[in-house]
Amino acid sequence: MNIRASSIHEPGIPKYYQLQEKIFGLIKSGNMKVGDKLPGERELARQFNVAHMTARHAVQTLVNTGVLHKQHGKGTFVANLKKLSVSEIEGKSVSKTVTVVLPAVPKSPKITVTFMRSGILEAVCEAMSEVNYQVNISYFNYSEKSSPLERCISNNPGGVIFWHNETPKNLFMLKELNERGIPFVLVNNYSSEPYDYVVAENRAGSLKVVEYLHELGHRKTAYIDRQENESSVNERRAGFLEGIKKFDMNESENVTMKSDFTEDDMRKCVKDLVDRKFTAIFAHNDMAAISVIEVLREMKIKVPEEMSVVGFDNIDMAQFMTPSLTTVHQDFHEMGRTAAEILLRKMTGNAKNVHGKVKIVPDLIVRESSAMPKDRQYK
């Protein structure tokens, strides 16, 4: 059966959604009747000039909601819509389920409170509840060999918010999401591909730290990060290097550790910086900053009297540790809210004028772990 295909090209509206509407419209108008067989997925894809996975997603969503039904070995057929209410029929073609994919809390005896990023999930749930959308949560571990998006895609979500890390497997799965026409928004890192995202303005955050340390009198500051192909890591490093150039802090330097550095690696690194008379250490995230403070404590080096330490993220435990950690605050709640608003507009076809690439400027939170360098404290 040829369902008299027309092209699908409406910008800003997911292709799978447009195809669902085409099929659903033919059923409601009577052009397709109960028991009529739908063309195969590949034929649908050919007729409407979309990817096979897009056609599969559209058909499966209509099957899941009862508009179509499949008979094993025979095909897909129009279901008896008389069994559904009018309101059910009108709403069947729109998936109102959003999946949020986030990293799990690390299993570490040192972490006794919420790790971070809870604000993202809370904000997404708040935004989606306002429009009666369901939120599913999927957690992943960085040690997993497969992409966390594989599980997500198998559940046919209406939209996805993904804590992104730039790995080949994640890029492959994002491409598949895109080809299926499933709307998604990235948080934490943006991609080398032109996908929508909401992230922190990491470069600006690092610049604020360097300016603050310079105003305190620090001229020999070390920035510790690690080898990662992530936009957040690269931009924080770039902000630090820009800052030390801007303020003529020529004795400051960036120390990049291997991605799988151990506690011994960190211990050697910090000892070297102490021996070379650095007065401040700026770590690329709060967990690294906490590790630095632990090493300094082992060395009987006082923080901040003998070494200032600054982190980045403002995880929950940063304010409760001793000394409390000076850090760059990422507004995860605003990040989640903005990502949810962009995703909703994409899911409902209102994304034509949406700016889907957003950077949120972070704030510097000054606490107890930073102070003037020792040689200036008594002048």
- Whether residue 2 lies inside any domain: the answer is no
CATH of the domain at 32: 1.10.10.10
In this structure, the answer to whether residues 255 and 303 fall within a common structural domain is yes
At 363 the pLDDT is: 97
Establish if 8 belongs to a structural domain: no
* 232 and 308 both lie in a single domain: yes
Do 313 and 346 belong together in one domain? no
More confident of the two residues 223 and 15: 223
- Whether residue 1 lies inside any domain: the answer is no
Bridge-based pairing state of the strands 184-187 and 97-103: unpaired
Say if residue 268 is in the same domain as residue 320: yes
Calculate what percentage of the chain has a pLDDT beyond 90: 49
| Bond preceding residue 183 cis, omega within 30 of 0 | no
Query: Quick one: 236 and 372 in the same domain?
Result: yes
pLDDT of residue 304: 97
Is 370 found in the same domain as 232?
Answer: yes
What per-residue confidence (pLDDT) applies to 184? 95
Same domain (yes/no): 115, 83: no
Is the pLDDT assigned to residue 192 strictly greater than 50? yes
- Bigger pLDDT: 283 or 70? 283
- What is the domain-level CATH number for residue 274? 3.40.50.2300
Residue 115 has pLDDT above 70, yes or no: no
Q: What's residue 379's pLDDT? A: 47
334 to 57, 248, 280, 330, 338: CA distances (angstroms): 31, 34, 30, 9, 6
Cis bond upstream, residue 103 (ω within 30): no
- The sign of the CA dihedral 72, 74, 75, 77 is negative
What pLDDT does residue 107 have? Answer: 55
To which residue do tokens 């992530």 refer?
230
Which whole number is the average pLDDT over 283-288?
Answer: 94
Q: Within a domain: residue 7? A: no
Task: Return the number of other C-beta atoms located less than 10 Å from residue 77's C-beta.
Answer: 17
Flag whether 300 is in a domain: yes
Task: Examine the domain organization and report whether 229 and 369 are in the same domain.
Answer: yes
Predicted confidence at residue 354, as pLDDT, reads: 67
Rounded Cα–Cα distance for residues 70 and 370 (Å): 64
pLDDT band at 117 (very low <50, low <70, confident <90, very high): low
> Are residues 208 and 298 located together in one domain of the fold?
yes
pLDDT bracket for residue 86 (50, 70, 90): very low
- Are 216 and 273 members of one domain? yes
Q: At what angle do helices 118-129 and 332-347 cross, to 10 degrees?
A: 40
Distances 280 to 166, 237, 306, 349 between C-alpha atoms, Å: 30, 16, 9, 50
Full residue range of the structural domain in which residue 36 is found: 15-91
Residue 137 shares a structural domain with residue 276? no
Number of structural domains found in the chain: 3
Choosing from 38, 73, 91, the residue where a domain stops is: 91
The residue length of the chain stands at 379
Residue range 286-344, pLDDT digits in tens: 999 999 999 999 999 999 999 999 999 998 889 999 999 999 999 999 999 999 999 99
Identify whether the C-beta of residue 199 lies closer than 8 Å to the C-beta of residue 359. yes
State how far the Cα of 125 lies from the Cα of 38, in Å rounded to an integer.
Answer: 36
Choosing from 91, 122, 143, the residue where a domain stops is 91
Q: How far apart are CA 165 and CA 178, in angstroms?
A: 17
What value does the mean pLDDT of the chain take? 85
Does residue 249 sit in the same domain as residue 373?
yes
Q: Is residue 347 part of a domain?
A: yes
Domain boundary among 91, 126, 146: 91
| 159 assigned to some structural domain | yes
Burial class (CB in 10 A: 0-12, 13-18, 19+), 360: middle
Any domain includes 144: yes
Confidence check: pLDDT of 21 > 80: no
Q: Given the structure tokens 């690439």, which residue do they identify?
A: 357
